[in-house]
Amino acid sequence: MSFSVIEYCCFILDTLFEVLCLCRIFSMKIWDTNHPLPVILTYMGLNTLFSYIFPDSITTLLLFPMSYLAYIIMYKKGYLETLIGYFLAYVYIIIIQDLFMMVFSRFNIESPKLQAVIGEIGSVSIGLILLLFVPVHKIYTAIMKSNLYVKCTLIDLALMLLIEILITKFTSIDATVMIPLLISFAIIVFISDYLIIEQQKTITKQQESLESYHTYEPMMDNLIKDIRRRQHDYANELNAIQMIACSYDDYASLSKALNEHIDAAARDFRQTDLIKLNMKVLSGFLYSKLETARKADKDIDFTIKNFDLVSNMPEYELIKVVGILTDNALEAVKPHDCIKIEIDSNDNRIIFTTINKGPKLTPELRANMVKVGYTTKTVTNSKASKRGTGLANAKQLLDSYDGELYIENPPASGDTLIKFEFIV
């Protein structure tokens, strides 16, 4: 079916209104878009062609994918960004047009041509004026930063309004009678979206947990081999202690030598305590960090106060935060230095602590450390963009699980120490 002159003029106004609305949503000027005139003219030409070939209902449905593709080209945004912006503009426009339909119903204006002319001119005029005051770009930015539930709600609302338009334009059914049914339909769709998203989250967590297990399971094998090797070294340690006893005549020298040897041996054997942790992925991960430290001629002194760790943070997320703190501590010390790691669990929360040489803290430095882009390391321009995000990411992860991050200078004689501790 072909367009009448009034219908085509309304279609042109609708298109221009939608384009300007999207410009406002994306905070762009019309001349900053990508080939606006050719894209709009092509879109209008295809719509005119389809109106001659297909019934009005089919043409209306075809308008949505056509306009969506046109706006992807024009605004140079991603698929999801364009979709959310498009639906936001669509909801905004339809709400204004629905208000005019309510006015027509109230004053018994039944002439289709009169409704088309007054409704189109009035809704476009009021809509453009309101765009000067309604913060649509801030609303769009907030939606894009929000979770999937908000995005799905917007999409569900847009689809409900689309169904309302199709019912109003192409059937004799009173749309007001269909409102309860449409609301019920929207609720069912939203519940379905919620269940699908939750299921997808569960699947994603399981996949990440499985990937972590496959990654760090070989590290556990290496840890077990290391323990077996140390079992053979046990006899050598006993022989060494016997030799120390034969090497000193006075008690003070013997006591000092034995204490130094036993402290070194105990620290070495404490590293094998990692296998006792109930979180095997974390055990393998920490052992991999120990191996990395040894290759850099550095050392890690582990103190594990509780082997039964409990936390509401999944293990695959936990090792991300542990990795950031451990990597930072190892990068901060020089070869032949040692960092200390303490692991504890209390009140169903994990307490993880790193202690290493570091700067004297000030309130400003403590606040800056968890900001994106801040770093105390000297970096080249090529690496600058990758620096200064670790602690900020760790803080964000901890916040999502109601965790806490503490940074302080513990009491020390000699070198200044810095302590990072998280509880989650």
Strand partners, 418: 356
DSSP 312: S
pLDDT reported for residue 194: 72
Query: CA 61, CA 42: separation in Å to the nearest integer?
Result: 17
Asked whether the beta carbons of 123 and 16 are under 8 A apart, the reply is: no
DSSP 346: E
Asked whether the beta carbons of 85 and 75 are under 8 A apart, the reply is: yes
**One CATH from 3.30.565.10, 3.40.50.150, 3.30.365.10, 2.160.20.10 for 204-423:** 3.30.565.10
- At residue 342, the 3 state secondary structure works out as strand
Asked whether the beta carbons of 357 and 417 are under 8 A apart, the reply is: yes
Q: Residue 204, by phi and psi: left (phi above 0), alpha (psi -120 to 50) or beta?
A: alpha
In the chain, which stretches have pLDDT less than 50?
1-3, 378-385
pLDDT reported for residue 341: 93
pLDDT reported for residue 1: 43
pLDDT reported for residue 143: 82
pLDDT reported for residue 340: 93
Query: CA 286, CA 216: separation in Å to the nearest integer?
Result: 9
Query: CA 321, CA 327: separation in Å to the nearest integer?
Result: 10
Asked whether the beta carbons of 222 and 287 are under 8 A apart, the reply is: yes
Query: CA 76, CA 20: separation in Å to the nearest integer?
Result: 15
Establish how many alpha carbons lie within 13 A of residue 296's alpha carbon, considering only the half-sphere containing its beta carbon.
20
Tokens of 182: 């449409």
Establish how many alpha carbons lie within 13 A of residue 144's alpha carbon, considering only the half-sphere containing its beta carbon.
20
For strands 349-357 and 299-304, give the pairing: unpaired
In the chain, where the domains are located: 5-173, 204-423
pLDDT reported for residue 381: 47
Tokens of 85: 């912006």
Establish how many alpha carbons lie within 13 A of residue 219's alpha carbon, considering only the half-sphere containing its beta carbon.
21
Give exposure, 39-63, as e/b (b: 16+ Cβ within 10 Å).
bbeebbeebeebbeeeeeeebbebb
Backbone angles phi, psi at 357, to 5 degrees: -65, 140
Query: CA 70, CA 51: separation in Å to the nearest integer?
Result: 18
Query: CA 100, CA 127: separation in Å to the nearest integer?
Result: 11
Strand partners, 304: 343
